[in-house]
Structure 1
Amino acid sequence: MTGRLPHSLRSDALDNRERILDAARALYAAEGLDVPIREIARRAGVGPATLYRRFPTKRLLVTEVFTDEMHACHAIVEEGRADPDPWHGFCAVIERLCELHARNRGFTDAFMATFPDAIDLAAGRRQTLDAIAELARRAKEAGRLRLDFVLDDLILMLMANRGIHTTSTAAQVAASRRFAAFMIRAFQAP
């Protein structure tokens, strides 16, 4: 459903749609997915009926809002997998995922299964986790990643990273980078 718009969408309707998406992106990034739909509509300058006309369910709105972040998440993992040194690639994935999730609280919620059956997010999440599992296997074979590392450790790390609360996005990212460095040390083989 993402990316396909009816050709007959008027310019004012298209503007409303983009304002809704921009408002949802900003609010979800700052506050997570618990933001009321009415607040998104208010911030977008439209009525709730207009929002529901464009996005009949919250699931559709969330999927549309986070499609780009899911692509970015997958690109991070693919770059890590492409690194000839699997440990270096694994560390880069941890650092960049923590930063991506620190910048957008709502994406962490969506990725962590708030809407596990949203088709685009569930498929993207599975693909990303499978790629991380393959990278982790290679890093273990290289003797650099703890043999007892499992994907649930990554999920726990993202949940803990989500719990970092600061006064600004910059402070959030800085704290997340520090947390990622601790996690990398914890994941490293003795």
Structure 2
Amino acid sequence: MTSHFSQTVRSDARDNRARILDAARAVFGEEGLSAPMREVARQAGVGPATLYRHFPTKQALITETFAEQRRACHAAVRDALAAPDPWHGFRSLIERICELHAHSRGFADAFMTAFPEAMDFAADREQTLRAVGELARRAQKTGQLRPGFVVDDLVLMLMAHRGLQGTPGATRAAASRRFAAYVIEAFRATPETATPTPMPPALCLQLADSPGTP
């Protein structure tokens, strides 16, 4: 009887933890890191005590919530550095970073800002910027990347990319792909007019529907 009871408790705890993480991905993904913990608990269908029992701090919850995105970011860096063509590696890293940031507002916030005690995300950011610097040097040697490119240009690009976070998810993904394509072409030493540009999202219609738009 005791063994069965213990297994039931452990199973309930696993279910609660999974629901909390699913809710956190949804809440932080759409609202960003400023979303309150109580909203995560509400969407998970658990009480605050249960939430804090699994994740004593908001930082602990954020770190676990975006573990998959962090692994994807590490893989993007590894793949880019291993690419035989440095320009292809450089381009693919920008595309994958934009995709990760477009997918989740919370991950973009954690990656780009000095969130309290977010040392793991700061380390990810530094690793990514070092990889971009290395890829840039390689691509510049081949003549494919503009000679004036510096890593701060990528930071500027990501800051501008965060402006897409206010758009709905499906539109944001399409806008992100088109944004990345234009930025990559701006970084290219010689424009490639044959490269197809992703289809544009219907942003004008959204502006027309926004409150206060004349």
Report if TM-score (shorter chain) is over 0.5. Answer: yes
Distance between the aligned counterparts of 2:19 and 2:114, measured in 1?
24
Name 2:99's counterpart in structure 1: 99
Q: CA deviation at 1:116?
A: 6.1
Map of 2:26 onto structure 1: 26
8 Å CA contact 2:99, 2:173 repeated in 1: yes
Structure 1 segments (4+ residues) deviating >6 Å: none
**TM-score of the pair, normalised by structure 2:** 0.78
Number of matched residues? 182
**Distance in 2, Cα, partners of 1:100 & 1:90:** 16
8 Å CA contact 1:67–1:121 kept in 2: the answer is: no
Percent identical pairs in the alignment equals: 63
Measured after TM superposition, the shift of residue 157 of structure 1 is 1.2
What is the CA RMSD across the aligned residues, in angstroms?
1.8
5 Å-filtered alignment, 1:84-163, equals 84-115=84-115, 117-163=117-163
Partner residue, 2:198? none
SS of equivalent to 1:10: helix
- Distance (Å, rounded) in 2 between the aligned partners of 1:106 and 1:17: 19
Higher relative contact order (Cα pairs below 8 Å, separated by 6+ residues): 1
Q: CA contact under 8 A between 1:70 and 1:125: conserved in structure 2?
A: no
C-alpha offsets along residues 88-142 of structure 1, whole Å, 9 cap, x if unaligned? 2111111221112111111000011242632332222222222222111111121
> Equivalent residue for 1:10?
10
Asked whether the equivalents of residues 87 and 144 of structure 1 are also in contact (C-alpha less than 8 Å), the reply is yes
Match of 1:6 in 2: none
> Could you state the TM-score of these two structures normalised by the residue count of structure 1?
0.88
Q: Rg larger in 1 or in 2?
A: 2
Rounded to whole Å, the distance in 2 between the matches of 1:10 and 1:73 is 32
Structure 2 unaligned residues grouped into runs of 5+:
1-8, 191-214
**Match in the other structure for 1:36:** 36
What's the secondary structure of 2:147's corresponding residue?
coil
In the alignment, which residue of structure 2 is the partner of 1:189? Answer: 189
Residue of structure 2 equivalent to 1:4: none
Give 2:103's aligned amino acid: R
